[in-house]
Structure formats: C-alpha cells, structure tokens
Copies of this chain bind each other. A is one copy, B any other.
Amino acid sequence: MSDEVSILFMPSGLRGRVQIGTSVLQAAQRLGVDLESICGGQGKCRKCQVSPQEGEFPKHGITSRLEHLSEFTETERHHQAKNRLKEGRRLGCNARILGDLVIDVPEESQHHAHHISKAVTAYDIQVQPALRLYTVTLPEPDMHAPLSDKRRLQQALVQDFDLPTLDCEMSQIRLIQKALEKSGRCITAAVYQHEQIIGIWPGEKKKAYGLAIDLGSTTIAAQLCDLDSGEVIATADTMNPQIRFGEDLMSRVSYVMMNEGGDVALTTVVREAFNLLAKRAAKSAGIALDEILDMTVVANPIMHHLFLGIDPTPLGTAPFTLATDQTTVVRAADLDIYLHPESRICVLPCIAGHIGADTAGMILAERPDLAEEYVLLVDVGTNAEIVLGNRNRLLAASSPTGPAFEGAQISAGQRAAPGAIERVRIDPETLEPKFRVIGCEVWSDDPEFAQKSANVGVSGICGSGIIEVIAEMFLAGIIDQDGVIGLVEGKDSSRVALDGRTYSYLLYEGDKTLRVTQNDVRAIQLGKAALHAGTRLLFDRMGITKVDRIGFAGAFGSHIDVKYAMVLGLIPDCKLENVGSVGNAAGTGARIALLNMPSRIEIGEILPKVEKIETALEPKFQEYFIEAMALPHKVDKYEELSKVVKIPPPKPKAESDRANGSKRKSRRRRKQV
C-alpha cells in the first residue's frame, strides 16, 4: 500500500487513495468525480482541466504540493503557449499523481451529469408574476400639446391596461424614443410589481423570464421560468463554490472572521455562480440573458447575508441577530448579477438567526398557515429547520443535527452523487447486505450489477443510504437500542467485526472498503436526537403530542424512505401515510414567489407572526436530546412500524429507560467475550 497516495477532489469533496502514476482524470473517474473528458484522455479536448492546490489540509490529513504531479508534458506546454491552458491549470489526462494532492475541478470542467438532488416538483401555482409585459401604441406627438414620450407611455398604460401612473427607470427612459421610432410608435414595457417600468422594447415583445434560485450551503439550484405561462423551461445547478472556504456554514463564518476581505471573497464566488447558472439556464432554454427580468432567492441566513454582501459574523455568535428579516428587492446589477440591466432580485426574508429564507420558501410552498390540521415541516441539512402549526399559530426552530444526514462526518459518507449508496437492505438471517447506488438501476445482488455500475462504481454512502443501513442494522439486531454495534447472538457473520475497540459493519468491499462504524452510528444518533428534541420543544410550546401531517423537505427529505426515518425515530408520532416528502420546498417557494406576486406580500405578513424558538435557550432541550438518543426512543411506534417493516419486538420499557453510557459499555464487553 506504500505506492498509494491520498487524493481529494474539490468542490465535490470526493476522496480516496490511488496508485502513484494514476492520471488525475483516471482518479477522478474512479472516485466518481465530475470531470469532463470528450477525447477520452488524449489531451485534445482540453475539457479535463484541473487546478492542483498547494498547502496543508489538516482536516483531510493531506499536504498538497504542486510537485506531487508529474512535470508538464509537451501537450500541456503546447496548450499553454496557445493560451488554452490557464495559469495554474493542468490537463487531468496528462498530469500523473506522484503524491498526496487536493485538486480543484473548475466549474467549466464539470460535466454536470451529477444527480440533480434539488428536483423540480410540480405545483399548481397561480401565475400572477411581479414582472409583466404590456404592449401599447402611442399617438403621434402633437407640437400644440407637447407631452414627453414617457408621459404618453404612462397615459397609454393607464388607458389600455388600467395601470396606475408608473415611473420608469432612467436607463429605460433613454430607450423610449428610439424604440418608438423603430416600430411605428408601438412599444412594449416591462412593469415590475405594478409600480415601475423596468424594460422597454420596440414593437411587441411577448416573453419575459425569471429565475428562482435555491441557494444552499452545498448546492445552488436555479429554475428558469416563463413568466407568462409559469412553465419551468430550464433548470441548472452547481456546487456552491464557497465550499472551498469551508465545508459547513460555521467554517465559512470562521473564514470571514479570520481573513481580511473574506466576506467579499465569499460574496463574490457565490454571485459568480449565480451568473454562471443564469447563463447556463438561458443557453439551455435558448433565450438571451437579458430576457431574464426577475429573480427570487431563498437561502439560509448565512448564505442570505453573504449573497447580499452583509457581514455574516453576527450570525456566528449569540444573540444571532439578523441584519434584516424583511424581503429584499434590489437591482440585480447592484449585486453584480448581470441579466437585463434593470432585472430585479427579490430575496425572501429570513425568520431568525438560524432560520432562513429557505424556511420562508418552505412555508410558501406548503402554507401551513392555511392548514386546519397540525402540520410539521422539517428541512434536514446540517441544521434541521422545523416549522409546526396551523392557521391559528405557527412555531419555528432550528436544531443542530450536524452534517451526518448529508453523508458528511460519516467514515464512508459522501454527497448524493453517482456511485453513492442510497438504498440498503440487510438480510436478518445471513446479515448480508444488498444495496443500490446512484446512477445504476439494479441492486448489488443483481447479476448485471457489476456491468451496469461500472461507469459509476461504488464510492461511498450518501445521506439516505446512511439512514437505511443503520435502520437495517438495527432491524437485523446488529445495532441495539442504545446504538451499540455488536455481534448478533446466534449469527456467525464476518460482516460484523472488531474495528479497534468497537465493532463495525462491512457494507462493501471492492475498489474501496465501506464500513459502518460505531462513530457513524453515534453521528446519526446525535443528529436524530437533535431533530427530535427540537421537534419536541415545538410540540411542548404548542401543547400537542402528535401532528396530523409531516412533510420532509430538501434533498434528504426527497431521498429517504420515511419508514426508515421512523425506525430510527427521526419522526414524531404520526400516521405513516401522512408522512411524506414535500420535495425541494424551499426551491418551490422561490418559484412561487417568482410567479405569484401576492405571495411575496403574504410571506412578509406571515413571518412576523411566526413564533421563533431558540433551541439553545430552552432549558428542556438538553434533557430531550439525551432522551432521544436511543433507537427508537418510543416503544409505541413499533406497532405501526411492524406493519410495514419486519421489526424486532421492543424490550421492556424498564430496561430501555436505564440506557446510558456505562450500561452500553458493559453490554459491549459482554459481547466481546
């Protein structure tokens, strides 16, 4: 193994060990990294350009050096001389790995075949956009009754469309006279929010477009919509390039605190990503960039502040005060987003220091404020945002679940990308697993699996896979109610084996070895306990013990099987058929705000009435958290669950209640005997 070195690809975060001499392109392909190549590694297409990084990456245990790549080849020098290979770039197919490396895959080298995790779901939105086009024909000028062209336009809009007298942006006033001249005095005006003319074109213009953007810590997803039909005509997504400054939100805030100008750097890269997404979506839909006149954005508080150019550091420490908790409407150009020159951006409001505009979007998408019954909405990420209530009252909180549900801080974890294990079943008799990976339709026990999964491989376990494997391990008895992995009495399987001082479960052995370790189980237990404790606080505050409907939002919510979530106790009491994914509710909320102007006003009215609960301040949070560590924490769920999954009988309540560290230890010792 001494001729193997470590390699980490950014921004995907995929990593692994490869033979010295492997080309970067080969390594990328093996690890499931999205690195484009058209010529098949012949050095011709120049698509596989990468940026090797220099420096210490202590978190990953990598010291990356440029000299850990082979010297520049003739081919690379040739491309460099012709300015086809930028400073600091290498050709992935030419550069061979000689030592530990961190390699950045630039945006333009990514193939974007990766799993679109923030799927677009179909909602019935009443199309009533903030941006509308109006075509009018103005009368000829009359020197005896001189009126400016702007005033004639205003009058025509009042007469023909019953609009109020609208002001017009100076940049567009400049266009009116030429437009009138060009088209026999027929012009089209774009009117924003019923109050301002922000676009002028000669003749009749029928279509204008808008972008709804879900700005996540990890992924940025854009939906390009026809503002007339409401149709989504293109989608585009990209990794959030801020990842290079810190994987999670708090490390990005730290970056800002530690580095002069760090906030500007983070703001700049995210805005660049917006421009790139807009370009890509426009190209894919075959429209011009300047036909995009409106944009809505949802984001968590830190992303929200960084995107708007507001220092996020106050969000990193108590009292976690937002700079603004109101809808922000600005000119896109003022945020360095270049669409139509007067295009607007409407950023939905954040709710509190830990509860962002993404939650506002979820509320817009699900409208719990209109529900008769009690609704629980949960968006699980590094933090879980929780909204509970109905038409009478809404509560919201954020709970620190950690990144385990997203596959991070899990030994074999990875993001939801091709090659990631997303479904797992464990035979309770043999303890043998079978699984499915993203990018391959068949299960691992299918004879065609090896062939069909060849192009994606098996690279790690994503969030939904983690939930399933741990739930299946629990159902198979490999994990006990306290979350301890151990040998199963009466089963002789090499899958469960000592791994240092604790046991682990061997899920896969191939190019890579994927194990579920005791630490992995602990991370999931911590996450689910946090989620559960947060939810319970809201239940307490509301004075209820169960809800009528549960909606899981976000990528995690779309992929997990709610049964397994219930097995692990992620979900409070609710009829299983009333639990489901609500898709990318934040993104849907952004699209609703884009296509339906009244909803922008409504969300501004709903949010101030939402009661915010700061989990860290609640005395009971810690107590609930500890209580929720066990798997599953409530015995009475067994009955319902046993209808859908094969489930071992609950232990007597007394024993379960005594669950604690020392007891777990003794149990482990017992099994080690």
Contact = CB atoms under 8 A, between A and B. Distances in A.
A324 B146 contact: no
A645 interface: no
A498 interface: no
Interface residues of A, number: 42
Given A146-B352, A353-B146, A177 B326 contact: no
Contact of A334 (B170, B318, B612): B170
Contacts of A319: 141-143, 146
A311 B178 contact: yes
A310 to B, nearest CB: 5
Interface stretch (A147-155, A225-233, A245-253, A436-444): A147-155
Given A143-B617, A178-B311, A322 B612 contact: no
Contacts of A141: 319, 321
Given A177-B311, A311-B178, A614 B146 contact: yes
B324 A151 contact: yes
A168 B168 CA distance: 21
A326 to B, nearest CB: 7
Interface in A302-336: 308-311, 314, 318-326, 328, 330, 334
B149 A321 contact: yes
A176 interface: yes
Contact of A328 (B170, B321, B324, B328): B170
Interface string A426-456: 0000000000000000000000000000000
Nearest to A309: B174
B146 A326 contact: no
Interface string A128-145: 000000000000011111
B311 A174 contact: yes
A641 interface: no
Nearest to A170: B330
A497 interface: no
A150 B324 contact: yes
Prevailing SS type, chain A contact patch = loop
Contacts of A147: 321, 325
A112 to B, nearest CB: 31
A32 to B, nearest CB: 40
Contacts of A617: 143-144
A173 interface: yes
A328 B612 CA distance: 42
Contacts of A334: 170
A173 B310 contact: yes
A605 to B, nearest CB: 13
A171 to B, nearest CB: 8
Contacts of A322: 146, 148-150
Nearest to A140: B319
Contacts of A318: 143
A323 B143 contact: no
Contacts of A311: 174, 177-178
Contact of A173 (B144, B168, B323): B323
13 contacts: A143-B320, A143-B614, A144-B617, A146-B322, A146-B352, A147-B325, A148-B323, A150-B325, A168-B324, A173-B308, A173-B310, A174-B309, A177-B314
- Give 3 nearest A-B pairs by CB, closest first: A148-B325, A148-B322, A150-B324
Given A150-B323, A174-B309, 20 more contacts: A143-B319, A143-B320, A144-B614, A144-B617, A146-B319, A146-B320, A146-B353, A146-B614, A148-B325, A149-B321, A149-B324, A150-B325, A150-B326, A151-B324, A170-B308, A170-B330, A173-B308, A173-B324, A174-B308, A174-B323
